[in-house]
Structure 1
Amino acid sequence: MATTVGEARAGLAPASLQLPGIVLGVGLGGFVDGILLHQLLQWHHMLSSTNHDRIGVKYYNPHTVSGLEMNTLWDGIFHAVCWIAVLTGLAILYSRVTHNRRRVWTSRVLWGWALAGWGLFNLVEGVLDHHILGIHHVHGGPYQVWWDIGFLVFGALLLVGGWLLQRSGQPFDPDAPTARQAERDAGLSR
């Protein structure tokens, strides 16, 4: 007895959106950080606090031309890593979702995991760069520790909010028929 592809896959769980969502969220969260905090607000650059870092990186004063050039170079490397994360997340998503790709973009599951990925980015980057390495802070100055803690709290809120959002969504099964397909199939079986 022959089985269709849909029947053969019926026993398998639908492709998970967790990994592509998290990887996309890490990349997009990095872009928000880099564009907003590095470029628009100019609160910090990748190496703007190396005069007080914990690993001995040479100080590149962002208020001098040569220092700004080096900080901008490292900001560009940071953005390249964010771009690779976004492309990787899209590639994973594309490989896992083979049907009904349009529906995935409205999925609470995908966007919940993306928010969780952004939160994960904030937590890892905040702990590593702001606290452990000390190569930069969210907003340097007398209250920098509070800005750094606020960044971590925001990351934790994004992580929890994303997790709750994805739980409230319908599980995405790329092989499930859309309403239009179901109507068409019902019309054919009459």
Structure 2
Amino acid sequence: MLLGAGLGGFVDGIVLHQILQWHNMLSNQLPPDNLVAAKVNMYWDGVFHAAVWVLTAIGLRVLWAASRRPDVPWSGRTLVGGLLLGWGLFNVIEGLIDHTILGLHHVYEYTEQKMPWDMAFLAFGGLLLLAGWALVRAGRADTAPRTAYGA
């Protein structure tokens, strides 16, 4: 789940912050309409990317440790389900805290109607959670025997 949260954060930061440029970390509080405000937003976007990098690195470490244990069954459905659970959890937590509670930014800043975009982001997070949960449950049946090398 940590790996999924980190990767989901990268999708958010790369796609919504950088490619589409729909928002920045502080764009509701400090609209990036001048060079100083844009630089402040860019700095906090960098802090955000550093945090999701740490989540991803910790997730890789946990996955590596689990891969060394012979009692942990290998399951593609469980792996993908865990990734989706983490991404969904990231979306729901980030959406509730940054968009709703703190109001740091909204999914799409360039409209008067910000709430539908924020609710769609939360709904997408909910769908990811449901899909991830279903895959993890289905993966419980994947109990293929493992060799000493995890193959």
TM value normalised by structure 1 = 0.71
Q: Does 1:30 align with 2:5?
A: no
Between the aligned partners of 1:170 and 1:154, the Cα distance in structure 2 is 25
AA at the equivalent of 2:11: V
Tell me the CA shift for residue 168 of structure 1.
1.5
Q: How does 1:1-190 map to 2 (within 5 A)?
A: 22-50=1-29, 60-98=30-68, 104=74, 107-140=76-109, 141-170=111-140, 176-177=146-147
Between the aligned partners of 1:92 and 1:99, the Cα distance in structure 2 is 11
Computed over aligned residues only, the root mean square deviation of the Cα atoms, in angstroms, reads 2.2
Between the aligned partners of 2:56 and 2:62, the Cα distance in structure 1 is 10
| C-alpha contact 1:98 1:174 (8 A) present in aligned 2 | no
Tell me the CA shift for residue 65 of structure 1.
0.9
Tell me the CA shift for residue 118 of structure 1.
0.3
| C-alpha contact 1:99 1:174 (8 A) present in aligned 2 | no
Tell me the CA shift for residue 64 of structure 1.
1.0
Between the aligned partners of 2:36 and 2:137, the Cα distance in structure 1 is 48
Q: State percent identity of aligned pairs.
A: 46
Larger radius of gyration: 1
Tell me the CA shift for residue 107 of structure 1.
1.2
SS at match of 1:151: helix
Between the aligned partners of 2:49 and 2:82, the Cα distance in structure 1 is 21
SS at match of 1:79: helix
Tell me the CA shift for residue 174 of structure 1.
9.1
Between the aligned partners of 2:38 and 2:144, the Cα distance in structure 1 is 47
Between the aligned partners of 2:58 and 2:144, the Cα distance in structure 1 is 19
Tell me the CA shift for residue 154 of structure 1.
0.3
Give the aligned partner of residue 17 of structure 1: none
AA at the equivalent of 2:131: G
Runs of 4+ that moved beyond 3 A:
170-175
Tell me the CA shift for residue 156 of structure 1.
0.2
Give the aligned partner of residue 13 of structure 1: none
Tell me the CA shift for residue 169 of structure 1.
2.0
Between the aligned partners of 2:99 and 2:136, the Cα distance in structure 1 is 29
Tell me the CA shift for residue 176 of structure 1.
2.5
Consecutive unaligned residues of structure 1, counting only runs of 5 or more, are 1-21, 51-59, 182-190
Between the aligned partners of 1:82 and 1:171, the Cα distance in structure 2 is 31
Tell me the CA shift for residue 171 of structure 1.
5.4
Tell me the CA shift for residue 95 of structure 1.
1.1
Relative to structure 1, is the Cα distance of residues 150 and 31 closer, same or farther in structure 2, using a 3 angstrom cutoff? Answer: same
Between the aligned partners of 1:40 and 1:33, the Cα distance in structure 2 is 10
For these two proteins, the number of residue pairs brought into alignment is 146
